[in-house]
Structures are given as structure tokens and as C-alpha cells.
Chains A and B, each alone.
Chain A
Amino acid sequence: MLDVNLERVRAGLRTEEDLSLLHEVSASTAGVSRLEMCIQCGTCGGSCPSAADMDHTPRMLFAMLRAGMREFVLRSNTPWICVSCYHCVVRCPQNVHIADVMYSLKGMAIKAKLYQDSTAPDFSRTFVDMVEDYGRSYEFGLATRHYLKHFPLRLPGMTSMAFGMLTKERMTITPKRIKNIRQLKAILKRAKEVETSNEAGGAR
């Protein structure tokens, strides 16, 4: 891994092993990530249906993570290409929660604004904004906002599909709402405060 060594030097790592990044990722992963148990066997990358489109296979990404290469890890497109199929998760001999680590890395990349392409973060953000407003997902609003911004050229080819979805009543133009949206908003507001103090704790 010549280029990885080069990246290490460029990243200005002071010590041979800087595990603070690994700990930070583990702290922001649900459950017990077992990330430190990775033995670099590569079963994950070999099982991945979308590895061909990734900058780094999960194995490589975990090696970089262990090496403390924060910026390179958070800039990698790998977590964004992960399709959450869990093939790697059930095959990993060390039972690393790989898919959940990918979710954590996305969240960290968004916070550090280190992603290369805004398509996926924007999609997640728009989806979540609508869920926070209505309590339900809102496909029509999501699709129109997302496609107009990121895939205007796909729209002409999609009109008949969108038309079919509307006439077959598989998509509605107005959003559905839950009754007690105030309760949900209060819960999410508190959750964000809890998360902020969790991050402060995790980064220690």
C-alpha cells in the first residue's frame, strides 16, 4: 500500500498509531462497532455488490481509519456508495458492524463538510427534513426537490413513470402527517441536544 503510506505522511500523522479517529467512529456508532477487531481479511470488499464504484473497499477504509487518516477517510465516497445490503456484515469473521460504521462515517463527513459529492447528503437531508416536518416520508416532495436539483436531465425520461405512479395512486401530491407532530418534534429536539453532548464526550 505505497500510496496509503504516502497519504499518511501527507496527513501529517505524528505517531505510528493514532487511534482517536477509531474511537470517535466507535462512539458515534449504534451498538458495539467491534471496529478495532478488524483483521484486514477483505471479506467485506469481496462481498460488496458496489465495491467497483468505491474509492476504497471497506477493508482499506478501516485500515485508513485505524491509521488516523481523518480527512482521507471522511472524503472517501465509500460510505456513500454502500447500499446497506449487509452481505459484508453477515460474512465478517470478526462480526464488525460494518454497515453501521458506514452510517457513522456519513454523519461525520456531513458535519465536517468533507464529502465530495452533495447528491447523497442532500437526499438524506431533504428526506429527514420532511420526516421532521410531517412525521412521515413524503415521496412526491422529496422526488421533485431532489430530481430538479441533482438530476434535471433524468426528468424527461421519467415523466411517464411519474405519471404512472400518480395515476396508479402509488404517489400522492400532498404529504401525510401524523397527529402528534408536536410530541415527535419535542423528542427530536431533545435527541439533538443529547447527541451534542454525546459528541462532546466521544471526542474526548
Chain B
Amino acid sequence: MSEYLLYPGCSMESSAKAYYDSLMKVAEPLGLHLKEIEDWNCCGATEYLGISLTPAYALISRNLALAARQANGTRTVVAPCSACYLNLAKADYYMREQPRLGHMVNEALAAGDLAYEPGSLDVRHLLDVIVYDIGLDIVKEKVVRPLTGLRVAPYLGCMVPRPDFEHRWSDHEHPVELDQLLKALGAEVIDFPLKTHCCGGHMTQIGPDTAFELIRRLVSSADTYHADLMATLCPMCQLNVDAYQGEMNRHFGTSYHMPVVFFTQLIGLALGLEAKELGFGSEMVSARKALAKIGLEAPEPVAAAPAKAHKAEGLPMPPPLTRRARKGSREGEVKS
């Protein structure tokens, strides 16, 4: 059993909880021993880098310093989130490429009694570790419920295959690792041409028109190939394509329904685990229909529960004065 230091990242505790939960479920059966970096902090995503150089890299490097101190015989940090993976890898690489950056960062880390020697850790993505350390043969051996008949669009997004400082992937634009893994699970994998195209990143927050077009391209392409769902390895991609799919549909007057799940959730299904314990049901675009296709039942989506449906109207409001008034206002809402 190989041991790795795990850097989960903030999303894994919130919007990408299904990613974390499913990873925890499949780690043991796959023989992945993950040890969380103690008291890790946010990597700054794509925001801090655009404000100030040294603080941004010091923020990232505190995690590397903590990991290096905690490492006991292992030197591999595994990050399941794309942005976290890239930031950690980037800090390590740039501090080697430009020692001056390493000095500045270490000067800052010293204020917290920490230090990091660039190059002392290997930063790797979860998919890389599963495909190249555990190996597809082992994964195949563990499959007890092949995903036969499920058409999956493998979606990696940008920051895992690019810029790829250490040349870990088969290609920057059309890497095959995720395809191979999903095939090992028995799924029918489409040759998804947009597999490393952008989901819009933080543009859903700051420039929605730019983001909606990028989301539309992805969803429309996956739909053209008759994919039942998209499998991703990035919390940001999942959030954008899943949670903003409704707003994108309204923006363009389209009606796409393309579920996006984490690849670890599909590994879990193939290993015979139950959909519910793998975080299915937490997606905004329900994967129920896709799972039903392979004879699996996904948990009821929360929003569909009739008792709670009324609350969907918005923030807590004073109770309506009369029954009629409330009915009238709800009808008005439908029309608008």
C-alpha cells in the first residue's frame, strides 16, 4: 500500500463534497493510503496570484512546508482539485526555476517558523496516482459492477493537463488517462473533443456571458455525442457545468440536461459501492436517469421532495397574509 500526503483543498469540504466522500470510499479498496496535511490552508485559487506575487506564493508554500515536515518516508503530495494541484506544482516549479522567488517565499515562511526546500516534494494529481501508481490492471481487477452501457464524456478541464511542468500526462490537449480509466471501469467512453477545454473558471462569478458560452460548448458537444453524463476530476469544472447549467440554459434558451459527476464517484459504482454513499444526488443536474440506464438507483434529489419544494421560492420571508394572496403571487412568479 502506497502512502500519500493529501491536500484536499477548500472545495472538497463544500461544493465538491461528493468528490471527497467518494474518494474516501474508494481509497481503501484501491490501496491508496491518504494522510491529510494537517492544518492546510487555501491555495488562493486563481485569485491571489492576480493581486500580489510573494503573498500568493507564500500562501501556497505554507502547505508545501507543512507537508514536507509531516512527510514520513513519502514525498508525494496528492491534490484532487485542479487549481490546488496546479498552484502547489507551480510554486514548487517556479521556486526552482527562479531561486529568487524561493528566497522571497522562504523569508515570509520564516515568520511562521516554516521553511520549504523547492523540489523536496512531488506534487501529483489524484488521476495520475491512480493510473500510474496503482495501475489500470489493478483497477480492472477490483471492478465488480462494470459500468457497461453508460456513455461517459471524460472531462479534465485545463489545469491538470496544462501546463504540466513535469511531463506527467500523455498529451496537453488530448490526454488519454481518464478515458483509459473509465474504460477499465467498463464504461463506454466517447472521444470527447472538448475534454480539456475551459469551463469558464471564475468567469461564472465575474463575466457570466463569457462563462455561459464556454459551458454551452461543453454541454452541447457532450450532448451531440449522446453522452449520458460527463465525468470530471475538477471541483470548479463540476460546479460551473452543473450548478450554472440552468442559468446557461436560460441565457441561450436551450434545455440541455447533462449531469456532471466526479470520476471517483464512477470508480465507486464500479467497485460495487452504493450511489448514496458516493455523493450521488448532490448534483444539481440529476444523474438519476443516467444511473437508471445501468440498473442503479440514485437517491432522490433534495429539491424534488414536495415538503421542501415551497422553500425554493427564496430567502426566509414573513408568512403570506392569506392563502389566496400567496397563490396569486406564485402564479405571477410563473408568468414572469
Chain A interfacial positions (CB closer than 8 Å to B): 28-32, 49-50, 53, 79-81, 83-87, 89-90, 99-100, 102-104, 106-107, 110, 119-120, 123-125, 127-128, 131, 135-137, 139, 143, 146, 150-151, 154, 156-161, 163-165, 167-172, 176, 178-180, 183-184, 186-192, 194-195, 198
Contact = CB atoms under 8 A, between A and B. Distances in A.
Given A161-B247, A178-B40, A103 B50 contact: yes
A151 B208 contact: yes
A114 to B, nearest CB: 14
Provide the main secondary structure of the chain A interface.
helix
Q: A31, A89, A157: which has the most chain B beta carbons within 10 Å?
A: A31
B158 A31 contact: no
Contacts of A161: 243-244, 246-247, 284
Interface string B66-104: 000000000000000000000000110110011001001
Give the interface size class of chain B.
35 or more
29 contacts: A30-B49, A30-B57, A49-B197, A50-B214, A81-B210, A84-B46, A85-B162, A86-B162, A87-B162, A106-B50, A107-B50, A110-B51, A127-B45, A127-B47, A128-B44, A136-B13, A137-B45, A139-B15, A161-B246, A161-B247, A161-B284, A167-B303, A171-B14, A172-B14, A179-B39, A180-B112, A188-B108, A190-B108, A195-B53
B189 interface: no
A180 to B, nearest CB: 6
B140 interface: no
A119 B163 contact: no
Contact of A167 (B62, B110, B207, B302): B302
A161 B39 CA distance: 31
A84 B201 CA distance: 8
B17 A170 contact: yes
B200 interface: yes
Contacts of B15: 139, 165, 170-171
B325 interface: no
Contacts of A136: 10, 13, 41-42
Given A124-B50, A137-B10, A170-B14, A187 B58 contact: yes
B34 interface: no
Interface string B257-301: 000000000000000000000000110100000000000000000
A180 B48 CA distance: 20
Given A83-B200, A128-B44, A187-B111, A90 B282 contact: no
A31 B51 contact: no
B114 interface: yes
Given A30-B94, A123-B47, 12 more contacts: A30-B91, A50-B203, A83-B201, A87-B162, A90-B163, A90-B173, A102-B50, A125-B51, A157-B247, A157-B250, A191-B55, A191-B57
Contact of B108 (A87, A154, A156, A194): A194
B134 interface: no
Contacts of B110: 190
A85 B108 contact: no
A135 B155 CA distance: 30
A191 B58 contact: yes
Given A104-B53, A119-B207, A188-B58, A168 B302 contact: yes
A136 B113 CA distance: 20
Contact of B17 (A80, A159, A169): A169
B28 interface: no
Contacts, number: 228
Contacts of B282: 168-170
Interface string B6-24: 0000110111110000000
B107 interface: yes
B308 A167 contact: yes
A187 B51 CA distance: 16
A137 B315 contact: no
A178 B39 CA distance: 6
A141 to B, nearest CB: 12
Given A31-B101, A128-B47, A139 B14 contact: yes
Given A81-B210, A137-B42, A198 B163 contact: no
A88 to B, nearest CB: 10
Contacts of A158: 247
Interface string B218-261: 00000000000000000000000001101100100000000000
Nearest to B103: A194
Contacts of A84: 46, 158-159, 201
A188 B55 contact: yes
Interface string B303-315: 1000010011111
